[in-house]
Structure 1
Amino acid sequence: MKASEDSRSLRFFETVLELKEMHSGLGLTLLSVAVLTVPIPAQPVPETFTLNVPDGPISSKSGSSISLLCQVSPTFNIEPFEVKWYRFDEVNKPTLWYKDHKIQEAIMDPRFKGRVSLTGGLERGIASLRLERVTLEDSGEFVCYINNNNWYEKTCVVLAVSVIGSQPVISVAEARGGGQVNVTCSSEGWSPQPKVTWRNKEGTEITNGQEVQNTTDSQGLVSVSSWLLFSPSESDWLSCIVFLSDEWKTEGRILPVLPGGDYKKGFTVNQVLLVVLPVLFLVIIICALCFIIVFKRKGQIDQGLNVAETKRLIKENPVQSPANQTTSDNKDKLEENPVQSPANLTTTDNKDKPEENPVQSPANLTTIDNEDKPEENPVQSPANLTTTDNKDKPEENPVQSPANLTTTDNEDKLEDLLLGKKVKEEHITTDAKTASLAIRLSQKGKRVQYVKAKDKPDLQQSIHVLGNKGFDSGQHYWKVKIQDDDRKEEKLAWYLGVTKENAQCPLTPQNGFWVLFYEKEVGLHVYVDSVKTPTRQTTPTTVCVFLDCDKHTLSFYDADSGSLLYTFNDVKTTDTLYPVFSPGKRDPQPLKIY
């Protein structure tokens, strides 16, 4: 029997060799098939095994996904085994339970349903727990348990969840003592306790007189406040950084100026230049305007002297000039009075019979021209020139005072944007489906108000709602009432602007948010390159938002004074932009949309 099998094997390999000589490619293929069809024995299951897990805690940021590693050693297929993950003190409420080749969802902890799965591959001996949308409550010890009815092992994996807090709010107050201010930096919603550092414009850390205070709320989140004494002359900018690590941090910047915009002692060179250069530029403009006025009037005076000399020659000449002949032609009774003395000319012509005067002195000519026929007067005195140009013909006046120039620029620019281009005001309401949980809308969608939900933690970093219209071309504007005239309380915070439909926090242009912020202690500010940047110090009661999709610009105006608050010049996106409205966090006063 064995000889027969050997002979068959020999004939098989002889056949393969013959085929290889006929066609080497086909021979190699047949040989590969023969090798691959030889069965590989399954790796046996050991009587005992151990579990490998990370040595230290696994760190994760709130809202992200994480895998908790658990692997058997030696490596073998554990698909027939029972795999269970549970919290250290909740063995009867498993986070995930795998048995009989499937997940047993009946008795799983409801907090983890839809958020957990096994990853890594049971056939390779890996039973890692995949946890989605991690929350602060997920922090703690998780137990990995594997059992095959003959042997079981379990071990712990520690998960540490971190929460990134809010953007730092920086304020400035006057300090006791000359030349210094008290700067405060506050941020809330951190876990674990963060660190705070202050830096100047050059990036050098400031530690002199710094103090830090931490408080913990009922949800276990930490609020941090830090303050220090600072001399405004030391740096143009002051930065406050709150962080857990180099990757998990937030930063705020401020110009160390007291409320109202006045610096205390110790001006820097840049601050002096900011004041001196605009004044010098204004002086140059005023001097240029004065030169133009003097040059123009000098030319008019020279012209008037030439005309006066011509009239003097006419008076001395007994023959009438063409000018007098023209005057005589226009009169009805010129021939009745051929000659009159200068005295008679003055008395008779000016009072009784001005139409019969054939000859007039230069003085009388000037009087008649200025009073009876202003349209024929080739010469005017400097005083008359000023009065005529400014009152009768304002369109011919080449000079305006600096005050008029400022007013005209503001009004013309706003009128050109909103009326000159025939841009119609958009009638926008809010889209209730996009509203944050802490926002209450009026029935018509024109009133937006912050209302804290009962029995729910106020953890939202962005409190806003989108408009019901989106724009991707053309020019559009809308107005928002910030402060009612009849309300005595000042509004504490708000922000307005545009955003993409699915934009994510933080509220920066890089993430699809172009917004103007207001906070009582900070003032108006925007985010430029993810850095908080102050704008004008005015606090408008009504804001006009102007969006030019064709020029990729977004401008904010004080609707009452017409002054420009800020302009984004690079609003470039292929997505549709929607108006965004925020009444401010913990501020009960509403916004009203026109």
Structure 2
Amino acid sequence: MFTTFGNRGTMHLGLCLRVLILVALTVPIRAAQPAQETFTLTVPNGPTSTLSGSSVSLLCQVSPLFNVEPLEVRWYHSSNIHSPALLYKDHKIQETPVVPRYRGRVSLTGGMERGNVSLTLERVTLEDRGEYVCQVSSEQWYEKASVFLTVNVTGREPVLSVAEARGGGGGQVNVTCSSEGWSPQPKLTWRNKDGAEIRNEQEVLNTSDPQGLVSVSSWLLYACSYSDWLACTVSLSEEAKREGRILPHIYTAPTAVPGVYKEALIVTLILSLVIICALCSVILCKRRGSMWSSSQKSRNRSDQAELGQRPADQTELGKGPAETEHLIKGAENTVQTPTEQRAAGEEFNLEGAENTVQTPTEQRAAGEELNLNDWHHVKIFKVNILLDEKNAHPAIRINKGKRAHYVKEKDTEKPSRTHLHVFSEERFSSGQHYWEVKVKDGTTEKLSWYVGVARENVDKRPAVPLTPQNGFWILSYDKEQGFHVNTDPQPPITVAKLTIVGVFLDCDRHTLSFYNVDTKSLLYTFTDVKTSNYFPLLSPGRCDKIPIKIN
């Protein structure tokens, strides 16, 4: 009986050992070899979106899940079937044959032992967009699936303009909105000042440039208004959008008000010309009359001298002929010479009077036409400005596209002589635009800064001075020199207190004005700012690290 029990125990023990060995041998074999002769690929249903310059993963998963390390994985763009973006073969990523622009930017980071063959693409460019094919192959089977990649590029701020409506009637104007540099095709929306969307019956026009970036434009008829905003928004999403605003009114004359038509404008201009001509005639008549009176007096005195008569105010009647002749000759000298001097003096005074009448009139007319003296009028054209960090001087740090400050330049004991400023992302080619730059924060005063605009493609070499002739129009401050603009000569600008600088650019009239927002007063106006595209710029200066920022 003891022997029987021992044999049965030994049999059970051997059976258990065989089962354990079988399990141990089976598990690694299944993990090391594909368990499926056929399989499918799972990819996203819709397109995969990313921003230009970022990284993205194009998802691709083998189903059912198994280790695909022994298999071949190939990713390629649909436009280049024979040259892959990535090729995995013989348990490693192959260096060739692949498209050169993908080298160093692609990898398989999904976990191939779990059947994940997703492609990670770094530093995405606009050229990377399109259809990508994921292909997985074994000796018995292969499968492929497509993933679509869209690269989002946020375009420029919309440019709005107003023109006379033809056939619109009812005091309507034609408002146009256009923006460029988008990818993919953006959405354009019109809204009124209350934020309500305006349904535009006109179609939105989209065009593409050679780089594949989309330009969008639209127009609509709108009731002419001096106070109601009209906004145009171009967007890819809530995070990627640009907006421009405008008052839907045509600024045709300095005295233009709602209800004034062309006929009234023509009458006003004619009356102005008549008044100016009348003033000129009066001035000329006075001038000629004064000259005639002086000449007549001179003739009378000369005639009296020739007849041997003395002026009534001289009492030398008791003198003899010789003395009389001497006095007459003296009278001729004392009368004629001062007369000529007085006549010349009166003529000079008349010219001075003409200057004092005409010049302020011209100045007032110009000021009214440009609407520059009233800060409350220009501030309504305020736009959103973002600083372009990619085009900033290496010694400038940008925070959230609004704040700029100077940092000590590296690898040199002396500051470089290159111009230290940063341009905006926005460029303007038409319309009116106003923005503000805060140059003082609290009680801390900066030692130097400058703000203004520059034309497109300016010469950035250090030897090129920042002048209007070279495409720069700026207002500068230096603690030792004070405020000045970059004209030659540089006129000094007296400012008691300045915290915020207002900048108003009128592309249509080619003017650039600077304002003291603290006192709501005009500081200076450039009147010949002519170029096709304008870029706002600012400089925090080299002397301190105190920031300046777009308000």
Could you state the TM-score of these two structures normalised by the residue count of structure 2? 0.47
Larger radius of gyration: 1
Could you state the TM-score of these two structures normalised by the residue count of structure 1? 0.44
